[in-house]
Structures are given as structure tokens and as C-alpha cells.
Structure 1
Amino acid sequence: MGARQDVVDTTAEAQRLTTPPLLIVERVEEFLDGAGLGAGPLHIRRIGEGQSNVSFRIIRRGADVVLRRGPRPPLPPSTHDMIREAHLQQLLAPLGVPVPKILAVCADTHVLGVPFYVMDFLEGDVVTDRIPAHLDSPAQRRESGEAVLDMLVRLHSVDTSHGEIAKVGRPEGYLKRQVERFAGLWEMGATRELPQVRALAQWLEANRPQTQRTSLIHGDYRMGNLMFRSHGAVRVQAVLDWEMATLGDPLADLGYLSATWAQAGTPATLMELTTVTSQPGYPTREQLAARYNEHFGLDLSALPWYQALALWKAAIFSEAIYTRWRQGEGGGHDGGQDVGAVLEEGVPRLLDVAAAHAARL
């Protein structure tokens, strides 16, 4: 009996596996047929770098789409909510936020075991460890970094005071809830003793800043979650991966962006997923923060607190991935055989760098 396979053709094949597949081709075909999205056989390729939520490009006659779904069950409460993520993008598109067009949403868990949605496939470049040729001159590197920041300003300028967008989160008490929630996640799932987690939790609560304004926040805002136009002037054509989005303190996004922005001469962490920004030409973290504040004029003296929060949270969810790997749930596209070694050292490193940010406050 096979233990694990990501994509199978039929329900009968899926039932023979000890671990459920991510896609069952015949069921996806039926769903796409019912939604009027193309016809004929499917050509499927996994795309993106997701360690939890998963995206597949699907091409058939008359359709070129992306199917996005959560990881294999069981799912932690309030995470990987594909229905909410799709709905949020449908709300943001009319407000001028560049997001992929949502084509269909499936809440029926009998199809793939979890909810999922289907969106238009967009041609473009996501920058991680390689700089596309059309973004590689010194001027284009600078413009790319500035475009990342300017899009963040655009998101934080969305009017969230009325309509359905006002209901996507509770901005009051956002920072306090973040600290409490992630401290609780650590207590529930920790399998090794890392004293810095609790020490930082106490420090974060004791030094929690007052929120100066509220806005739409992405929650995972970094260059790797943006798609650039593949030709012409430097431009962000889509913001991706809205799972963590809510209403709250916008400096949480700026803290996360700057704390995970790869920069030469600073301690690196496993959260620096777009490594190319450490090369000459890209803005520094300080330049990004200064450009941001040209628009909002906030007091950024507490930015190290938000940077520490970002890496402390990252350490906690990375430890959860490490725990699943130790329990035999890793491997393949869900992390690869080296994920254990990376996280065994990487999680304490995240905590060390978070503590270094905290020491700057």
C-alpha cells in the first residue's frame, strides 16, 4: 500500500493510500466542468514555495487556472481558511488592490478533503533567489524594492471603515491577541525546550506599543508574495497569499517586511526567503522604513518591537513544522528531507535574532 502521493487520477487510487493526496484528478475535472472552466484533460503542475497552503497550475482547453488549497488535515483552528481568503480577494479587487481574479470556490470537503478555490493564472515573476533579467540593473533593483514598499503603502491606505471590508477583522487589541495566541500555540505544540520563546513572550507583552492607526494588514507581506510584471517598467501586478490578512496595526506588516528583508551585514534567518535583496542596489531596511513613513508620519521608534514580534511568531510556526517533520509528516513537497536539519538550527536562530531586535528598543 502506498504511503504518500500528492496527485492521483481516481478516487479508487486515493482510497488505497495511507495519506490522502492533495489532488484527485477526476474530482477536480468534475468541479471545473461544473464551474464552466474549460473542457478536456487536465495538465497539472505544482507551483510556488508554500510549506502549508498549496497551489497547482491547471491547464485544459479553454482554461489556464490556479487551484489553491490548504494542507492535509487535520488543520489547526482558524488557519488555512480558503473560503475566507477567496472572499477577501473578491472584496479587495473592486477597491483597486491587485489580486488574482477568483473564478470558483469549493466549500465541499468531499471533493478534496479541504475547501479550495480556483483563480486566474497570471504571467509574471516572483522574485526569490534569482533576479529576472528585466529587473536586474542597479536602477531596477532599487525600483523593485521601492515597488514592494509602495504596494504596502497602497494596502495600508485602503478605506476599511465601511462595507464588508470593515468586517474582516477586529483591529482593537490586535497586538495583544497576537502575543497571547502565539504564546498559546507554543504551549500546545512545543516538543523541545527553548526558553527564549517564553522570555520573548513576556518581553513583548511588557513592552507592547500603543497602536497609532489601524488598517488592512496582509500578515505575510514580503517580496516573495508579490508578482512583478514580466516586461516593461517595474510594477507589482498582484499581491498573493492572503491567508493571514486582517485589520490591525499596520506596523506589524512593516516590522515583518523589514525583519525578513535580506540585507548584507545583518544576521540571516530562514525567513529571508528572497535572498537576492542582500545584493547591491536594493534598498536597505532603514530606507524602506523611511520611505513608508513619508506617507504616514508615524513614530517608528518601536519598530524593533514589531520586528521581534515577527521573528518570534515565525519561530513558533516553524517549530510546528519541525514537530510534524519529527513525527514523520514531512517529506516531499511539504518540506523535503532536509527540513529537519534546517529547522533544528533555524528556529533557535530566529529567536536569537528576535532577541537582538528586542535589545535595540
Structure 2
Amino acid sequence: MSDEYFARIVDEESLADYFEREVGPVAEYEMHHHQEGHSNETLFVEWGDRDLVVRRPPPGEVADTAHDVLREYRVMDALQDTDVRVPPTVLACEDHSVLGCDFYVMERVAGDVLRESEPERFAASEHRQRIGEELVDGLCEIHAVEYEDVGLGEFGHPEGFTARQVERWSEQLTWAFDVTTEEREVPELYDVMEWLTENVPDAPAHTLVQGDYKLDNVMYGPGTPPEIVAVFDWELSTLGNPLVDLGWMLSYWWDAGDPEPPQATDSLNATFMTGEGYPTRQDLVARYEERTGIEYENDRFYRALAVYKLAGLGEMFFRRYLEGNADDPLYPKMESGVPELADRAVRIIEGEEPL
């Protein structure tokens, strides 16, 4: 990452002054950019003997409903005393004189995020099985939250949520296309848009929805057996259809015999869970249904919607790259990555990539 981009996302002196006022003075501190994510920006701050994390939106113009970090803070703060495994929250800041944007602070949690491979301590078959079970159980805990009781009763508008998902992500795509179509077009996405619009299913009972629940948005603790200690990236959370969450999670879980993932989005498509001992997508669904009592119907819709949303994210990334508002090497790859995702969504719709 360039020093110039780092300076765009954090004024170190201003943030240090804020921390001194709100957290307390320290003799020494360090700040650095954590570049694993591809949406909101994450800063690690060693503030004396405390390890903290700052989350802020990316610089530049963003789509209207994207990158709402204070929404992310609000839901994590509300979930502190529930079974949902969220990092301890510290502060939220709406004062744009500090970083030029909203941001929040949370405690840093120790463990591993499984992105490209499993840690050696998880290589045994029983641990591999448990990785998948924990992933499902973490989602079940979210969907079991009595959201009224924790102050999230007004957190969303669950009626019509699934149809609005299609509409909202179509709007995000359209926003990105305003710039990206000058480079290339992705006509297949209009076909997917039409199919999703015409095939919105009836939803089960509404729950809290995480919005971005997948393997690399959870952290497994440092010991064995595998145990999730934190769920991250709540910026898209709301109240709505829990099967949208499940379809999203499943779209990132690869089975042996699946088609090759889109090449341009390799960094988003870990495939180590195709190894011996890992549960299949059908295993994950069976555990979810058993634990929640919710039947997973209309799989083609939910997984196609997931890939469509990922294409929407990718196209927004590509627009930000073209406008010079990103320093992420993934973003320029979306020129070919989004068309690959569009092809995958079509395959799911046509039954060529079954559950």
C-alpha cells in the first residue's frame, strides 16, 4: 500500500489525539493498515498495551447504502450480551473532523481467519468437520437472536426484504455501470437481474440477518477443536430473510466436483474445504435445518442472488478503481472477474451448479 493512500484513510495525529481524549493517554502507539478485506478499510492500532481495530469507509464517492460503519457498530454493540460471537465494541465516532468520515473502534480478537488454507492444527478430519459445523452454528446463533429484546426492533424493514435485495443490488450495479460500461459491458447480469426479479420466493419468519456471513468473515480461536471466537463485517446487517444469509454462505463453500471458481476472484474463493473430512454444502444445510427448524427451499434463487450480489460488489470495486479511489490489487481484476461471476450466476440458475 502506498504512503499516499494510507494518508488518505488516516490522519495519524488526529486519530491519536482522539484516542488520547477518549481512550486515555499512552507513552507509545503504532498504527498500520490491515489489507485483507476488500470493502471498508481496517486499521490496527496498538495503543499502549491495548490492541484496537478502527473501521472506516473507503475514500471517495460510494454507493448510497454501502459502507455504513456506524450501522455495523450499532448491531455489534447490541449483540454484546447475546450468544452471537462479536468482538468487544469500544467507541463510535460521527465527528468528521477526526478522519473525514464516520468510524468505530473495537477490541482486536486473537485467532485465525481461514482465507486460503486451514491452520496445521485443524488438519485432522474431525477438526475439518468441526470447522463447517461451527460455521453453521454461528449463523444459527445470529438467526436465533430476539432482536426486539436487544434494541434492534427498528433495525430494518423485514417485509419485502428479499425483493428489495434484488432491487437494491440492481441499483448498486447500475450505479457502477455509469462508469464501468465505458470499459466493457456485462449483458448477462441483466438476464440474471430479470430472473431474480421474477422468481422472488416467499420468506420464512424474519430474523436478524448478518448480510456477509461466510468463512473468511469469522475468526477461529487459537486452540483446538475449532471454535469461532468472532464474527466480523456487519455493515450489511438488517432484519429480513435468513435464507439470504444461508445462500450467501453456501456460495463461498466449494464441494469436490464443483466447476473451477472464477479465476479473477481467486482471492475470494478458497477451495481447501473440498479436502477430505470437510462437510459438503448439503451437510451444512442439513445442520442448519436441524438447528433452526427452517427449511432451505429455493436454493437456485438464494445462491444465484448471492453471486449476483458479489458481482455487484465487484462492479462497485471496478468503478472505484477506475476513479482512482482504491489501492486494492483485486479491484482492477474485476474487469474480467465480474463477467465470470455473471456466468456462474447463470450456471446456478440453469441447474448446472447444484446444491
Q: TM-score normalized by structure 1?
A: 0.89
Q: Which moved more, 1:151-160 or 1:264-273?
A: 264-273
Contact kept, 8 Å, 1:73 with 1:114, in 2: the verdict is no
Task: Map residues 278-289 of structure 1 onto 2, 5 A cutoff.
Answer: 278-289=274-285
Alpha-carbon distance between aligned partners in 2 of 1:35 and 1:127, rounded to the nearest angstrom = 33
Secondary structure at the aligned position of 1:317 is classed as: helix
Q: Which moved more, 1:83-92 or 1:48-57?
A: 48-57
Matched, 1:347 2:331: no
Identity of aligned residues (%): 31
Q: Please state how far the C-alpha of 1:36 moved relative to its aligned partner.
A: 2.4
Partner of 1:11: none
Q: Please state how far the C-alpha of 1:75 moved relative to its aligned partner.
A: 2.9
Secondary structure at the aligned position of 1:43 is classed as: strand
Secondary structure at the aligned position of 2:145 is classed as: coil
Structure 2 residue corresponding to 1:74, chosen from 39, 61, 68: 61
Question: Cα distance 1:81–1:136, how it changes in 2: closer, same or farther (>3 A)?
Answer: same
Q: Please state how far the C-alpha of 1:321 moved relative to its aligned partner.
A: 1.1
Matched, 1:335 2:322: no
Contact kept, 8 Å, 2:6 with 2:33, in 1: the verdict is no
Partner of 1:186: 173
Alpha-carbon distance between aligned partners in 1 of 2:98 and 2:142, rounded to the nearest angstrom = 34
Q: Please state how far the C-alpha of 1:326 moved relative to its aligned partner.
A: 2.8
Partner of 1:13: none
Q: Please state how far the C-alpha of 1:339 moved relative to its aligned partner.
A: 3.8
Question: Cα distance 1:266–1:37, how it changes in 2: closer, same or farther (>3 A)?
Answer: farther
Secondary structure at the aligned position of 2:27 is classed as: strand
Partner of 1:221: 213
Structure 1 residue corresponding to 2:95, chosen from 65, 90, 108: 108
Contact kept, 8 Å, 1:7 with 1:25, in 2: the verdict is no
Structure 1 residue corresponding to 2:45, chosen from 38, 54, 58: 58
Q: Which moved more, 1:244-253 or 1:260-269?
A: 260-269
Residue by residue over 1:126-147, the C-alpha shift from the partner in whole angstroms, topping out at 9 and shown as x without a partner, is: 1111211222211111111111
Q: Which amino acid aligns with 2:48?
A: R
Matched, 1:358 2:340: no
Contact kept, 8 Å, 1:169 with 1:248, in 2: the verdict is yes
Question: Cα distance 1:310–1:282, how it changes in 2: closer, same or farther (>3 A)?
Answer: same
Partner of 2:227: 235
Structure 1 residue corresponding to 2:17, chosen from 25, 30, 46: 30
Alpha-carbon distance between aligned partners in 1 of 2:192 and 2:295, rounded to the nearest angstrom = 23
By relative contact order (CA 8 Å, sep 6+), the higher-ranking structure is 2
Alpha-carbon distance between aligned partners in 1 of 2:24 and 2:232, rounded to the nearest angstrom = 21
Alpha-carbon distance between aligned partners in 2 of 1:28 and 1:186, rounded to the nearest angstrom = 34
Secondary structure at the aligned position of 1:95 is classed as: coil
Query: What value does the CA root-mean-square deviation take over the aligned residues?
Result: 1.9
Q: Please state how far the C-alpha of 1:86 moved relative to its aligned partner.
A: 0.8
Contact kept, 8 Å, 1:39 with 1:61, in 2: the verdict is yes
Q: Please state how far the C-alpha of 1:4 moved relative to its aligned partner.
A: 6.3
Task: Map residues 1-361 of structure 1 onto 2, 5 A cutoff.
Answer: 5-8=4-7, 21-162=8-149, 164-190=151-177, 191=181, 192-267=184-259, 268-269=261-262, 270=265, 272-330=268-326, 334-336=327-329, 339-340=331-332, 342-360=333-351
Alpha-carbon distance between aligned partners in 2 of 1:98 and 1:38, rounded to the nearest angstrom = 30
Q: Please state how far the C-alpha of 1:40 moved relative to its aligned partner.
A: 2.6
Question: Cα distance 1:48–1:287, how it changes in 2: closer, same or farther (>3 A)?
Answer: farther
In the alignment, structure 2 segments of 5+ residues that lack a partner are none
Contact kept, 8 Å, 2:59 with 2:325, in 1: the verdict is no
Q: Which amino acid aligns with 1:175?
A: T
Q: Please state how far the C-alpha of 1:205 moved relative to its aligned partner.
A: 1.4
Contact kept, 8 Å, 1:65 with 1:119, in 2: the verdict is yes
Partner of 1:15: none
Question: Cα distance 1:300–1:60, how it changes in 2: closer, same or farther (>3 A)?
Answer: closer
Contact kept, 8 Å, 1:82 with 1:116, in 2: the verdict is yes
Secondary structure at the aligned position of 1:142 is classed as: helix
Q: Please state how far the C-alpha of 1:323 moved relative to its aligned partner.
A: 2.4
Q: Which amino acid aligns with 1:357?
A: I
Question: Cα distance 1:60–1:299, how it changes in 2: closer, same or farther (>3 A)?
Answer: closer
